[in-house]
Amino acid sequence: MSNQLNKISKFLSYVLRHQPEAIGITLDSDGWIDIDGLIIQANQHGESLTRELIEQVVKTSDKKRFTISDDGLKIRAAQGHSTRQVEVNHAEQVPPEFLYHGTATRFIDSIKKQGLVAGDRHYVHLSADEQTAISVGKRHGKPVVLKIKALLMYQQGFKFYLADNGVWLIKTVPIKFLQFD
Residues that bind ligand HQG (CB under 6 A): 63, 65, 80, 103-104, 107, 110-111, 114, 116-117, 119-121, 125, 136, 139-140, 167
* Least distance in angstroms from the C-beta of 40 to ligand HQG: 25
The answer to whether the CB of 150 falls within 8 A of the CB of 95 is yes
* Least distance in angstroms from the C-beta of 157 to ligand HQG: 21
| Nearest-angstrom CA–CA distance, 94 and 144 | 25
* Least distance in angstroms from the C-beta of 86 to ligand HQG: 15
* Least distance in angstroms from the C-beta of 34 to ligand HQG: 22
Complete DSSP assignment for 46-57: T----HHHHHHH
Q: Where are the alpha helices (DSSP H) in 81-142?
A: 108-114, 130-138
Q: Which is nearer to ligand HQG, 37 or 85 (CB)?
A: 85
Q: Which is nearer to ligand HQG, 45 or 63 (CB)?
A: 63
Q: Which is nearer to ligand HQG, 27 or 167 (CB)?
A: 167
Three-class SS string for 56-85? HHHHHCCCCCEEECCCCCEEEECCCCCCCC
